[in-house]
Amino acid sequence: MFYDGKITSPYQSLSQDFLWKPSVAGLSSAKIKPISDVSFRINEGHKVATAGSCFAQNVSRKLSQNGFNYFVTEKGSPFRTEKTRLEQGYGVFSARYGNVYTVRQFLQLVQRSLGLAEFSDQIYSGPYGLADGFRPGISARQGFDTAEALLIDRRKHLARVKFLLEQADIFVFTLGLTETWISVQDGAVLPTCPGHSYGEYDPRKHVFYNMRAADVIEEFSVAVELIRQFNPKMKFVLSVSPVPLVATMSGKHILHANTYSKSVLRVACEELATNLKMVDYFPSYEIITGTFNTHHYYGANRRSVQEQGVDHVMRVFFETYTNKRYADQSFGTRNSHHVADGELVCDEDQLFEALAASKS
C-alpha cells in the first residue's frame, strides 16, 4: 500500500492530558494536573475521613481549612486546648489512630473496631508512661498511667472508629509503607518497630515483613468489603505518600527499598482503582515526585514535602473533586523553603532522629 501521509493512528485523537508535551513539558510546574477524571465528586456536605501516613495529615489539615466537612469522630476533650489535643493525637486524623502506614494495619484496625479480630494487648512502656503498641504516636508526649486506663481508652477509640466507618461518606487513605512489623504471637501489626520510642524490640516477638503488591491489593479489598457491608455508600480516594522511607529493614539500599515500596503501593492502588467501584486513585505521588518540578517540592533533607508541594496537591484535589477553589496557603505567605510537615506527628521522623542521635 502506498503511504499517502494521512495519520490514522489511535494516538491522533488523544486528549492533551494523555500527551507529555502539552500536559507536562509545555506547562509551568504549578499548572500540571495529572488527573483526568474521577468516579465521584465531593461536596461540602460529605463527611470526609482521612487516614494514612504522615503525608495524609496534610490532607486532613487542608480539608478542614478549606471549609470541607472533615469528619472527626474523636476530637478529644473540648475542655483542653487545641494544642494539647493535637499533642495527644486528637484531630490529626479522623480518629485517634495515629499514623496508619500499611494496608495490613488498616485492615486490622477495621477488624478490631468491628469486633472481628482480637489481638494481644500490645502494651509497652514508654517515656511518658505506658504506650499503646497499636498507636505509639499518640503517646509521644503523654502516656497512660495504667494498663487498665490504656485498654479503656482503646475501647473507646475503637468505638469511635466504628462510628467513623459507619458514617463517613468519603475515605481518603494515603498508603505510606510496605515494610511492617508483626507480632509473632498473633500477627498483630504494629505501625513502628518497638525499641526506639517505646518498648523493647524482641526478635522472638516481633518480625519484619515487606508486603507484596498482591498483599496490598488483597487486604485492602477485604477492608473495603467489610466496611461496605454496613456502609455501602463509602467511597475511597487512595494516594501514595511521596515521602521516602526513612529506613529499611529489607536488606537493600534505601533508594532501592524506597522505589520498591512506592512501586508496590502505586501498582496496588492502580489495581484497586480499576477493580473496585467507587475507589479512585489520586496522583499526589506524581505531583510531588514528578520530574517536571525537579524535586523542587522537597526540603533540604530530600524527604520532607514543602508547603508548596502540599498546596499543589490540594489544589488539584479540589479542582478535580469539588466545585470549590482551593485557598493556596504557600504563595506569598510562606518562605518557599518552609517544610510543610514541620508540625506533623511522624513516627518515622522520630526514628530518624533517634537513629541520628545514637550515631552521633
Per CB under 8 A, residues contacting another protein are: 73-80, 156, 159-160, 163
Of 150 and 182, which has the nearer Cβ to another protein?
150
Of 18 and 230, which has the nearer Cβ to another protein?
230
Min dist CB 163 to another protein, Å, is: 6
Min dist CB 225 to another protein, Å, is: 24
Of 49 and 265, which has the nearer Cβ to another protein?
49
Of 29 and 64, which has the nearer Cβ to another protein?
64
Min dist CB 78 to another protein, Å, is: 4
Of 161 and 340, which has the nearer Cβ to another protein?
161
Min dist CB 152 to another protein, Å, is: 8
Min dist CB 331 to another protein, Å, is: 35
Measured in whole angstroms, how far is the alpha carbon of residue 333 from the centre of its chain? 26
Of 85 and 266, which has the nearer Cβ to another protein?
85
Beta-carbon-side half-sphere exposure of residue 190 (alpha carbons within 13 Å): 31
Min dist CB 113 to another protein, Å, is: 12
Of 152 and 254, which has the nearer Cβ to another protein?
152
| Residue linked to cell 520498591 | 260
Of 114 and 351, which has the nearer Cβ to another protein?
114
Min dist CB 224 to another protein, Å, is: 24
Min dist CB 77 to another protein, Å, is: 5
Q: What distances in angstroms separate CA 122 from CA 64, 77, 154, 185, 348, one per listed residue?
A: 32, 25, 11, 10, 19
